[in-house]
Amino acid sequence: MSKIIASAAIRGSHKIVDEAWAKYEEAVKKFGKDQEVAFPNTAYYLPIIYSILGLPVKKLGDCQEALEEARKLLPPVPDEHHWLPYLGPALDAGMATFFAEEVVEAIRYLEDPDFYTKTEDPVGDRIWLGAADDVIFRKRGVEFVDGTAPGFAAILGAPPSEETAVKIARELQEKNLYVFMHSDTDGRRMAEQLLHQDVQIGWSTRLVPFGPTTSSAIFAIGFACRVALAFGGIKPGDYLGNLLYNKDRTFAFVIAFGPVSDEWYANAAGAINWGFPTISDWDIPQILPTGICTYEHVVSNVPHEEIVQKAIEVRGLKVTVTKIDIPVSYGPAFEGERVRKDDLYLECGGGKTMAVELLLSREMHEVQDGKVEVVGPEMDEVSEGSRLPLAILVEVAGRSMQEDFEPIIERQFHHLINYAQGIMHVGQRNIMWLRVSKQAREKGFKFEHIGRILHAKLHQDFGSIIDKVQVTIYTEEDKVKEIMELAKQVYARRDARIEGMTDETEEIFYSCTLCQSFAPNHVCIITPERVGMCGAYNWLDGKASYEINPTGPNQPVPKGECIDPVLGQFKGINEYVYKNSRNKVERVSLYSLMVDPMTACGCFECIATMLPACNGIMIVNRDYLGMTPTGMKFTTMAGMVGGGQVTPGFLGVSKHYITSRKFLKAEGGLKRVVWMPKMLKEELKDKLLKRCEEEGMPDLLDKIADESVGTTEEEVLEFLKKVGHPALEMPPLV
């Protein structure tokens, strides 16, 4: 390893550790050692320290042990006249740097609680987000599981111009990478550069402004550590497992802009421990041999127009980007953009005009592949601020295409259209809403390009079942009305087909092992009446996915002999799960919380668990941040459920499954539910009321407690007795 880099990294680490000790001692005088410390609403304490040392930092006094470990790791600064092996000492110095910086950032949360927004996106003039809370982490973690986010770029400093910053950010977004921004270069910060150029930043656009200082880099490394802990089954303190997991599976790298300080060298040395190389535009020494990183460790003097591609090459990241001939940038990073009123050029639907989207399967001779037609006014034919009716009709044909696949493919319109920069698509079917920004229109975007996007992406994503795609976009009111009437008939037919399906009428269920890269023992079983716990895959989706990719994560599973109809245990399911969980899970009950419950990865929408004193079951959704009657928040319970564990009494579930007739049938179903957050009750209200009617208890929903009643088991029990909840008269849960 370069003596210059090693020496600089070790010098920088000494400085950072000394500063952390000084801040710690000052904080102890001010707050005391018993003061609680944490990154708000995160389950893994200070995640780098917790994952590497196994040390849960709960109170300020716990920081002392972490800083002592940092000091132990610090090697002496290399003597100017002696050449030594530098790799090991430099890596130790880098690790010490991260321990110290994590303590610094924890103290910052104490001293200035409002320094970071603790939100998903900037709030007004406050742009620094700080550590991702567990709601954001779990939500974004799915994208790392399914490959829509292959990695992240940790940015130190800023390019010399705002235009260069925008160009590099867009290139990273187009390659589906997250961009984590930290520190400054001569007072320039990349997040601020992007804002000055009217670029939306935040988790929703994958341009994440973690913090203005170098120490905020620990939020990026901590994110990687949490991925290994939450999804990879890596145990706290298994430092080697965590480092290797991230080297092999979390494809990240550092891009440093401008002169590299000793502190930056120290952080770069720390990142190398995880296999994350550094690429710089500055003329600094390079470390080209392979070793800890997959390929080179430090590559420098890279021109700005080549820096993104070089970083991807050095990290060994395989990114597939399909170029679509449209005048705006395109990729998943733009899916979260919002087109606000001040930036609005054109809108359709959203209650302002009639709008509908529909996909239909046709015979081969009825579809002309690649035909895109706009019937009615085009965007360049209307003035700014216009509102138009809209109907998007996509007709597809294919030898393997089936009518059952229509709604699955149609649901892809939402994200496929949103991937276009400056285009906002909300909703689906006949409640969709489209907004086009002034910037997109200035670049030449038109309705025609929506057709080009759908043609290209449906071929790419569904090529195994679709051979031809033709798109017609209507903006004339009479034509839109015609498509609307046709669509309503189609929707009604589809709904009747799906609603009529039961677990008893189908002999084939579907597996989902999409998350096994993070939870190797987890196998999800999807049935007509049990949607995947992430809420993203139903039985028809599993069937369509298998047709598209017969060797993919969704496989048909013959359910076989019914062992227990109440528990929902089937011989074929058990055999499949045992084999595909690597012989770790012998049995699974599809309808039970208490007996052989299904494993979970970490992407579940809700958690169901028992309240013993209430003889009932509570459900909490991921978005609810408060305390629950179990005495635990969602984030704490998530650690007991995820990672492919079998935990009787705890179960990851989707929102849709809560309204299923098979929901926890073995424990009594909906009648057993005694508490859920008010927001969840409101979201599912119509479906829950229907189920209550079916159960012969139309007032059951009013008897289910929420946080307005209480957040302790004693408060809930008192309420249940008052309203006469049926769970109190049911057989004991345990």
Q: Are the C-beta atoms of residues 618 and 608 closer than 8 Å to each other?
A: yes
Q: What is the pLDDT of residue 428?
A: 76
State the amino acid at position 613 in one-letter form: A
**Nearest by Cα to 229 from 211, 215, 241, 247:** 241
pLDDT along the chain (734 residues), means of 10: 81 96 97 95 92 96 97 84 68 96 97 94 94 89 73 96 97 91 97 96 96 97 92 91 90 95 95 95 87 88 92 78 81 84 92 93 88 96 95 92 85 89 86 92 96 92 86 97 93 74 94 78 94 82 82 92 97 96 94 95 88 97 91 88 87 92 96 96 92 95 96 97 97 90
Q: DSSP for 400-454?
A: T--GGGHHHHHTTHHHHHHTBTTEEEE--GGG-EEEEEHHHHHTT--HHHHHHHH
Structure tokens at 154: 């940790």
How far, in Å, are 526, 529, 671 from residue 658 at the CA level? 14, 10, 11
415 phi and psi, to 5 degrees?
A: -80, -30
Residue 260: predicted pLDDT: 94
What pLDDT was estimated at residue 515? Answer: 75
Coil, strand or helix at 563: strand
Could you give the residue ranges of the DSSP H alpha helices within 112-189?
A: 134-146, 162-174
CA distance 662 to 179: 42
Contact by Cβ (8 Å): 641, 233: no
622, 606 Cβ separation under 8 angstroms: yes
- Alpha carbon of 301 to those of 12, 183, 259, 297, 312: distances in Å? 22, 20, 11, 14, 16
pLDDT of residue 573: 97
- Yes or no: say if 162 and 195 are a contact pair by the CB < 8 Å rule: no
- What's residue 313's pLDDT? 83
Contact status, residue 545 vs residue 553, Cβ threshold 8 Å: yes
Q: Strands 178-182, 207-209: parallel, antiparallel or unpaired by DSSP?
A: parallel
Q: How far is CA 671 from CA 200, 656, 658, 712, in A?
A: 46, 17, 11, 20
Single out the residue of 250, 249, 238, 127 nearest to residue 191, CA to CA.
127
Amino acid occupying residue 664: L
To 5 degrees, how large is the angle CA 144–CA 147–CA 150?
A: 70
For residues 94 and 12, the answer to whether their CB atoms sit within 8 Å is: no
pLDDT for res 518 = 62
Q: For residue 314, count CB atoms less than 10 angstroms from its CB and return exposed for 0-12, middle for 13-18, buried for 19 or more.
A: buried
Strands 524-526 and 508-512: antiparallel
pLDDT at site 85:
53
- What domains are there in the chain, each with its CATH number? 3-315 (3.40.50.2030), 332-499 (3.30.1650.10), 508-729 (3.40.1470.10)
| One-character DSSP codes across 513-544 | -GGGGTSTT--EEEBTTB--TTSS--HHHHHH
Amino acid at position 671, single letter: K
**CA 394, CA 474: separation in Å to the nearest integer?**
11
- For residue 558, what are the β-bridge partners? 508
Q: How far apart are CA 349 and CA 345, in angstroms?
A: 14
Q: CB neighbours of 727 closer than 8 A, spacing ≥ 6?
A: 614, 615, 616, 617, 668, 671, 672, 673, 674, 720
pLDDT at residue number 465: 84
The two structure tokens encoding residue 245:
């997991």
Q: What is the pLDDT of residue 322?
A: 58
Question: CA 102, CA 120: separation in Å to the nearest integer?
Answer: 21
Token pair, residue 660, equals 């299923």
| Cα distance between residue 405 and residue 498, in whole Å | 12
Note the pLDDT of residue 143.
77
Give the Cα separation of 454 and 22 in Å (integer): 57
Could you give the CA distance from residue 17 to residue 28 in angstroms, rounded to a whole number? Answer: 16
